[in-house]
Amino acid sequence: MHSAIPVADGVHWVGVNDYETHLFEAIWPLPRGISYNAYLVVDEKAALVDGVKAPFLDEMLGKVRGVLGPARPLDYLVVNHMEPDHSGTVRALRDLYPEMQIVGNAKTAAFLKKFFGVERNVRVVEDGETLSLGARDLQFHLTPMVHWPETMMTWDPAGRILFSGDAFGGFGALAGGVFDDEVDIPYYEDETLRYFSNIVGKYCRPVQKAIEKLGDLPVAVVASTHGPVWRSDPGRIIDTYARWSRQETEPGVVVAFASMYGGTQQMAEAVARSLAEAGVEKVRVHDLSRTHVSYVIRDVWRFRGLVVGGPTYNTRLFPPVENLLGHLENDRLRGRLLGIFGTYAWSGGAVERLRSFAEDGGEFDLVEPVVEAECRATPEQLQACADMGRNMAEALKKHA
């Protein structure tokens, strides 16, 4: 997709696909790549809404110039979000178009100065303020913490397009199709949930506030900075984000464990087997030493039940399990059923840490029994793991 793609009359997608970055934010895997969606709105004045990551400047500019011609400059750059996957080209665009006005709110202006030393020709807008491009206006709505404090959305009343920034976005490069009616939506669903849970999930309340605030806009197109542009069914992605931000879950259980020599795995498998025997169809067993935590977090956000187990390592919880807990504590999960188990050889540590997670790491209903094994689980302790799985299955049925 090396040319601009029309979104509506006077509006073009000028984004890029990134298949080069292995880890988004240097944490999250991108096996299917990611798109950075930028949009060009052309009237008497030309405005670029959002940008791309720095290495993709030339590709984006080629698309912009393909629409504007080589000589016409950009009049405005609207910065909905300052994370450098979108703002990485700000400095270069400022140098190319010295008279271009960079449009953002007060917090954007502070970031522009601190990240890029950009202070000149910055136009600071208030919540609800309008910018005229000629016959067409752009209106700015502040939506802080979706995903940074300066985040805002830009509304195009003429096309009824909501340029929503990170909100309603997902991982996964645009595989030929740009619009929701051009792509295989189920192909993107897992990656959209992984993006939501990994990147935006901590900010559920701000997501809800943004949806409430903009709920009266007659949105025809949701144009996020990542993933498909929703023009056929924009309500679908808004509803999906609303549901996830309310932490609505499906009946199912994630069993997340790590095991150095198989002892903890044996306990995890005893739990998983009893879940299956009790009729829980959706069981996801993740070995945290093998599966990147990004995918585990995605499944934890999807399902109501979570069982976490790990060995003790140098008197503490085994690091891959600790890594998961750290992420989940940050997310402040609500309304989940939690089971915990662990092992130790000569000092405790793992189960003590798991108990503190159960008490303070989110809003959990702890499913008994908690199982702690010394070196290797005894037959009685394996039976206790099975009891925990059965109790979890029964609790899931009560919540259904």
Instruction: List interacting residues with ligand FEO (CB under 6 A).
Output: 81, 83, 85-86, 147, 166, 225-226
Structure tokens given for 189: 């669903």
Shortest distance, CB of residue 207 to ligand FEO, whole angstroms? Answer: 13
Q: Which is nearer to ligand FEO, 63 or 147 (CB)?
A: 147
Contact call for residues 93 and 74 (beta carbons, < 8 A): yes
Q: Which is nearer to ligand FEO, 85 or 191 (CB)?
A: 85
Shortest distance, CB of residue 166 to ligand FEO, whole angstroms? Answer: 4
Cα separation, 25 vs 15, in Å, equals 19
Contact call for residues 354 and 340 (beta carbons, < 8 A): yes
Shortest distance, CB of residue 107 to ligand FEO, whole angstroms? Answer: 14
Residue appearing with tokens 């840490």: 353
Q: Which is nearer to ligand FEO, 22 or 72 (CB)?
A: 22
Cα separation, 333 vs 372, in Å, equals 24
Cis amide linkage into residue 369, ω under 30° from 0: yes
Shortest distance, CB of residue 126 to ligand FEO, whole angstroms? Answer: 22
Shortest distance, CB of residue 397 to ligand FEO, whole angstroms? Answer: 39
Structure tokens given for 365: 């209903």
Q: Which is nearer to ligand FEO, 23 or 260 (CB)?
A: 23
Shortest distance, CB of residue 28 to ligand FEO, whole angstroms? Answer: 11
Which residues, at least 6 apart from 24, have a Cβ–Cβ distance to it below 8 Å? 30, 34, 85, 171, 199
Q: Are strands 137-142 and 303-313 parallel, antiparallel or unpaired?
A: unpaired
Q: Which is nearer to ligand FEO, 83 or 299 (CB)?
A: 83
Give the angle 365-370-372 at the CA atoms, nearest 5°: 155
Cα separation, 377 vs 388, in Å, equals 14
Shortest distance, CB of residue 103 to ligand FEO, whole angstroms? Answer: 18
Contacts by 367-371 with C-beta closer than 8 Å and gap 24+? 367/305, 367/307, 367/337, 367/338, 367/339, 367/391, 367/392, 367/395, 370/339, 370/340, 370/341, 371/267, 371/341, 371/342
Q: Which is nearer to ligand FEO, 81 or 94 (CB)?
A: 81
Which residues, at least 6 apart from 58, have a Cβ–Cβ distance to it below 8 Å? none
Q: Which is nearer to ligand FEO, 21 or 289 (CB)?
A: 21
Count, in order, helices (H) and strands (E) of the chain.
12, 23
Structure tokens given for 272: 């998983």
Q: Which is nearer to ligand FEO, 146 or 338 (CB)?
A: 146
Structure tokens given for 290: 């093998």
Residue appearing with tokens 């913490």: 145
Shortest distance, CB of residue 125 to ligand FEO, whole angstroms? Answer: 20
Shortest distance, CB of residue 203 to ligand FEO, whole angstroms? Answer: 10
What is the crossing angle of helices 350-360 and 319-331, to 10°? 10
What is the crossing angle of helices 379-399 and 263-277, to 10°? 40
Structure tokens given for 351: 């189960």
Q: Which is nearer to ligand FEO, 47 or 167 (CB)?
A: 167
Q: Which residue is nearest to ligand FEO (CB)?
A: 83
Shortest distance, CB of residue 225 to ligand FEO, whole angstroms? Answer: 5
